[in-house]
Structure 1
Amino acid sequence: MTSRLTTTQSEDATNSEPQQNHQSTWGLVVGASLISTGLAAYEIVPASVTPLIRDSLGIGPTIAGFLVGIMFGAAVVASLPAGAVLDRTDSRHAMALAVLTLVAAGTWGWFAGRQGDYRSLIASRALGGVAYVVVWNAGIDIVSRAANAENRATAVGIFTASGPIGFALGQGTGPLIAHRFGWPAIFVAFAGLTIVGLLLFWPASRGLGTTRGDAPSIQEFGAVLQNRNVWTVGLLGFLGYSLYLFVNSWGSSYLTAELGLSLAASGLLVAVFPAIGVVSRISSGLLSDRIFGGRRQPIVLGSFGVAAPLVLVFTRFRSLPLLIGLLVLTGFAVQLTLGLSFTYVREVVDSRVAATAVAFQTSVGLTGAFLAPIAGGVIVDIAGFDTAFLLAGVLAICGIAVAWVAPEPGGNSEAF
């Protein structure tokens, strides 16, 4: 009787282990995604209340655009060093440290905003940029290793979709928070979400923090930098992120300044632009694999081909339903490239340097994200919104040209 009971208990424990592991994996994915969502919302939220910040601090559109762009600039600088450190340390502890860093950066930004200290505010945002890139790199690493082969793509897709979800959250709620608590409060508003995410992530990620493998060597960096196809895909990422951040940063201000909408209304409208990325980023791989038989070039070509005319005509319409439709279609089109580019760049190099190629793609894409809000502010200041959106449309046309000559994966590792 005792033997039978012991056997039954052993079988029950064995049967429950996969379920426990499954629950733990998805607890980790949800926790990491909440952390990333909070960081993404913190990242974009100044764009939703730019007129308030400009009036309060007495700054022009160029300087105001820097409040968004500085985070991407800091991430560009920190991305490769952060990746090298993560290769040699515990990614789990790095995620926790990044959350604490965001809380410190947000609190710092709140104090700086209340005191009208623009330089201190910029410094706090740069610190937040470092936290962002650590969470992004460490999150992808841990989520990839936690999931099994059958659900790995789904798990990573859910995590990366946290970016557009966070952007939509920041764009949609930023004006409401600013109206209720004052605009400096936007810098601390999303810290609580990252803390909740950490509370879910921490127990579920136990034993998954340490990354095995060496940091990329100088020879691996050299191989990537000499590869023509890597530069082509990198340029697609640069153009895609430039369009994405330009509309995110200046779409709300356009609707407020030119159409007379309230900040709350314009923020909610523009929030649909990043929000559609939840569908777009996940579906880009499905379209490529299922419809085009694994080909990548038709997806990026279609991405820019649809986005270009939509951006070019955006300021020609005054109908709100039509503008919402344009934002949805443009957001979907642009984020097809963003969803596919990190998979794409891995496939045009030898697997030996795939991780290095992804790190390069991150840096190049974030460079576009850093420059677009600032350049957009300069153009708006000098020539107005019509010219700014026209030039953004020209960027999309350049994307069509680059996508036209983009390589297909499979043996295409030609160097200069």
Structure 2
Amino acid sequence: MAPRNDAVVDGEATAASDPEWTTYGLILGSGLVSAGLAAYEIVPASVTPLVRDSLGIGSTRVGLIVGAMFGTAVLASLPAGAVLDRTDSRRMMAAAVLSLFVAGIWGWVAGRAGAYWPLIASRVVGGAAYVVVWNAGIDIVSRAVAPDRRATAVGIFTASGPVGFALGQSTGPLVAARLGWPAIFPAYTGLALVGFVLFWSTSRGLGGARADAPTLSEFGTVLRSRSVWLAGALGFLSYALYLFVNSWGSSYLTDEIELSLALSGAVVAVFPAVGVVSRAASGLLSDRVFGGRRQPVLLGSFAVAAPLVLAFTRLESVPVLVGALFCAGFAIQLTLGLSFTYVRELVETNVAATAVAFQTSVGLAGAFVSPIAGGAVVDAAGLDAAFLVAGALAVAGIVLAWRAPEPG
């Protein structure tokens, strides 16, 4: 993944003069920041029964604690992308890390006081931090490597999401048992700080605004592209499935299979954890196995996930459930790993960052809606019905992926 020697590649600055280890350090550092935010993002889902009982709220309102970050990201992603095109992305990353510290402490104080809406407000701050880190990370990593290795580099960066999700799902119950459930909110800020130090030291020269920042008219071409909207729809469905299983898989194992909260969290952690391999491998599969074609990977992602999600509540053996979570997690996250490279390739280079911001916004809309809508279905009809609805979304993904065009 060595950087190119060119000062500019496809209109984007690269880390041409830096040694190869600097490029790896940049990806690792930005990935650790993202992983810390992802752990903060999902960790309430690992202790849903504790939060529900402590605050005296229903499943839908618990789902909003998880979903509030994604709702914020939906609204903030496109403005954040526009700002990142015109300002210093490194400094924006610094501001985002500071915001995470504020959100973590605020959430801890609100949780201890039993203050639901201040807790939601802290999650909104965390959502703004998350979308800046995500868009800035993809933008800077894309600038740092050559185009023929960009899908692999971006796939590795996006693997920070499942790393953080697995960390939050598996350790959240342990943190809650030892320090009380409100402590889950500031618990993962240290990881983001370590990552930021590494990111800051390896990203010099990569954060500034590009000379070819898109005009308002060029920005509009992204929103008018049917291919971009189709890529966004695939991202919406993938994120909806991903967050649904992350949010309600633990509750199913606790309520229906009668596993302990800690054990169910560890089992569900398999689902995001496999994304470390899946997201990083998505680009390699597309580039090496399918000769640069993107559509077969997208189609296979939903084709494998659909029957596994539909059949999930019919499985009673814990080893079989772990296997189903592993396979479904791998399949769903193939799209999450590839879609950000895919959408960049559907537009001109100077609006690529805008396309990524759009993909983030539409995709995270699915992540925002999923825990809340899932909670409403659970309250109304139970977990079996909720998993059937999620399976139907995967079937819809098969139909859309079949129509997905190849870039170029």
Match of residue 9 from structure 2? none
Check 1:362–1:198 CA distance in 2 against 1; reply closer, same or farther (3 A cut): same
Match of residue 409 from structure 1? 407
Structure 2: where are the runs of 5+ without partners? Answer: 1-15
Match of residue 220 from structure 1? 218
8 Å CA contact 1:87, 1:213 repeated in 2: no
Written as runs of structure 1 = structure 2, the 5 A alignment for 1:197-236 is 197-236=195-234
Match of residue 174 from structure 2? 176
Query: Shift of residue 408 of structure 1?
Result: 2.1
Written as runs of structure 1 = structure 2, the 5 A alignment for 1:16-55 is 21-55=19-53
Superposition CA RMSD, Å: 1.8
Match of residue 65 from structure 1? 63
1:95 is aligned with what amino acid? M
1:131 is aligned with what amino acid? A
Q: In structure 2, how many angstroms separate the alpha carbons of the residues matched to 1:207 and 1:288?
A: 30
Q: Return 142-151 or 106-115, whichever deviates more.
A: 142-151
8 Å CA contact 2:254, 2:264 repeated in 1: yes
Q: Return 133-142 or 269-278, whichever deviates more.
A: 133-142
Of 236, 248, 251, the match for 1:250: 248
Q: In structure 1, how many angstroms separate the alpha carbons of the residues matched to 2:276 and 2:120?
A: 29
- 1:163 aligns to 2:161 (yes or no): yes
TM-score (norm 1): 0.90
2:288 is aligned with what amino acid? R
Match of residue 363 from structure 2? 365
Match of residue 303 from structure 2? 305
8 Å CA contact 2:152, 2:284 repeated in 1: no
1:129 is aligned with what amino acid? G
Of 264, 268, 289, the match for 1:266: 264
TM-score (norm 2): 0.92
Match of residue 126 from structure 2? 128
Check 1:276–1:130 CA distance in 2 against 1; reply closer, same or farther (3 A cut): same
Check 1:207–1:291 CA distance in 2 against 1; reply closer, same or farther (3 A cut): closer
Per-residue CA deviation, residues 357-401 of structure 1 (Å, 9 max, x unaligned), is: 222211110100110010000000110000000000011111111
Higher Rg:
1
Per-residue CA deviation, residues 314-334 of structure 1 (Å, 9 max, x unaligned), is: 001110000000000000111
Query: Shift of residue 215 of structure 1?
Result: 4.1
Q: In structure 2, how many angstroms separate the alpha carbons of the residues matched to 1:389 and 1:153?
A: 32
1:35 is aligned with what amino acid? V
- 1:384 aligns to 2:369 (yes or no): no
Written as runs of structure 1 = structure 2, the 5 A alignment for 1:52-201 is 52-147=50-145, 152-201=150-199
Check 1:311–1:290 CA distance in 2 against 1; reply closer, same or farther (3 A cut): same
Per-residue CA deviation, residues 54-101 of structure 1 (Å, 9 max, x unaligned), is: 000000000000111110110111111111111222111111111111
Q: In structure 1, how many angstroms separate the alpha carbons of the residues matched to 2:295 and 2:156?
A: 24
Q: In structure 2, how many angstroms separate the alpha carbons of the residues matched to 1:242 and 1:394?
A: 11
2:339 is aligned with what amino acid? S
Match of residue 324 from structure 1? 322
What percentage of aligned pairs have identical amino acids? 71
Q: Which SS does the other structure have where 2:210 is aligned?
A: coil
Per-residue CA deviation, residues 163-195 of structure 1 (Å, 9 max, x unaligned), is: 110010000100010011100000010011111
Q: In structure 1, how many angstroms separate the alpha carbons of the residues matched to 2:157 and 2:206?
A: 16
8 Å CA contact 2:88, 2:209 repeated in 1: yes
Q: In structure 1, how many angstroms separate the alpha carbons of the residues matched to 2:72 and 2:39?
A: 17
Q: In structure 2, how many angstroms separate the alpha carbons of the residues matched to 1:409 and 1:205?
A: 29
2:218 is aligned with what amino acid? E
2:37 is aligned with what amino acid? L
Structure 1: where are the runs of 5+ without partners? Answer: 1-17, 411-416
2:32 is aligned with what amino acid? L
8 Å CA contact 1:88, 1:214 repeated in 2: no
Query: Shift of residue 226 of structure 1?
Result: 2.1
8 Å CA contact 2:46, 2:172 repeated in 1: yes
Q: Which SS does the other structure have where 1:87 is aligned?
A: helix
Q: In structure 2, how many angstroms separate the alpha carbons of the residues matched to 1:159 and 1:294?
A: 19
Q: In structure 2, how many angstroms separate the alpha carbons of the residues matched to 1:153 and 1:346?
A: 10
Q: Which SS does the other structure have where 1:221 is aligned?
A: helix
Q: Which SS does the other structure have where 1:259 is aligned?
A: coil
Q: In structure 1, how many angstroms separate the alpha carbons of the residues matched to 2:395 and 2:298?
A: 12
8 Å CA contact 2:81, 2:353 repeated in 1: no
8 Å CA contact 1:177, 1:186 repeated in 2: yes
Check 1:409–1:169 CA distance in 2 against 1; reply closer, same or farther (3 A cut): same
Q: In structure 2, how many angstroms separate the alpha carbons of the residues matched to 1:98 and 1:348?
A: 29
Q: In structure 2, how many angstroms separate the alpha carbons of the residues matched to 1:397 and 1:152?
A: 30
Q: In structure 2, how many angstroms separate the alpha carbons of the residues matched to 1:185 and 1:259?
A: 27
Q: In structure 1, how many angstroms separate the alpha carbons of the residues matched to 2:150 and 2:229?
A: 27
8 Å CA contact 2:96, 2:132 repeated in 1: yes
